[in-house]
Amino acid sequence: VIISRYSSLAIVLHWLSALMIFAAIGIAWSFDDMPLSPRKLEMISWHKWVGITILGLTALRLFWRTSHRPPALPANMPAWQKWAAHGTHGALYILLVLIPLSGWAMSCAKGYPVVYLGLVELPCLVNKDLELGKSLREAHEWLNITLLVLLAAHLGAALKHHLLDRDNTLSKMLPWIRPRTSNPQ
């Protein structure tokens, strides 16, 4: 059978992740050049909570993915585009695990344990080590630059399928967009 769209749970998790990623990056860019102040510390806390939430959402999505088959790619897609799609999706999952983990470890290495929502202190997997903290800070930044490049490709591909190829790719993740009937896949 051809599955025509993602399940409702997969769709909710996808768009919630998108919203949280947008928030995490927006908050980080706003506090980045702020001088140290209570306001900045509060924003860093929110950034960490949103980031840990993304890690949780990604764990749920990977779990979903092991037990469900996503809808097929358009049959007429060239092989290289199928590879590019699978590669991008795989790399996005990896980054959505590594970016929060690098942030979490960075906080611990700098000597600030992460207290999720101000309620639950998360365990530290690394000890305080300021040199390690600096390296993790750079890793966090470079992983984020890679994420932004891949998100641009992901968004660009979704729009290309919708606007140029005029196929059903986008409506599999946004079902209230009317599926195209002329080109069923």
| 44 sits near ligand HEM (criterion: CB under 6 A) | yes
CA 177 to chain centre: 23
Among 10, 13, 48, 136, binds ligand HEM (CB under 6 A): 48
Instruction: Report in angstroms how near the CB of residue 149 gets to ligand HEM at its nearest.
Output: 13
Polymer length of the chain: 185
Instruction: Report in angstroms how near the CB of residue 114 gets to ligand HEM at its nearest.
Output: 4
| 168 sits near ligand HEM (criterion: CB under 6 A) | no
Write each residue from 74 to 103 as x if it is in contact with ligand HEM (CB under 6 A), else as -, in one continuous string.
----------------------x--xx--x
Binding residues for ligand HEM, how many (CB under 6 A)? 23
DSSP lists the bridge partners of residue 96 as none
Contact 141, 158 (CB under 8 A): no
What sign has the CA pseudo-torsion 29, 30, 34, 37? negative
Which structure tokens are listed for 172?
């599999």
Contact 94, 143 (CB under 8 A): no
CA dist., res. 113 & res. 155, Å (int): 35
Q: Which residues bind ligand HEM (CB under 6 A)?
A: 21, 24-25, 28, 32, 44, 47-48, 51-52, 54, 96, 99-100, 103-104, 106-107, 114, 137, 140-141, 144
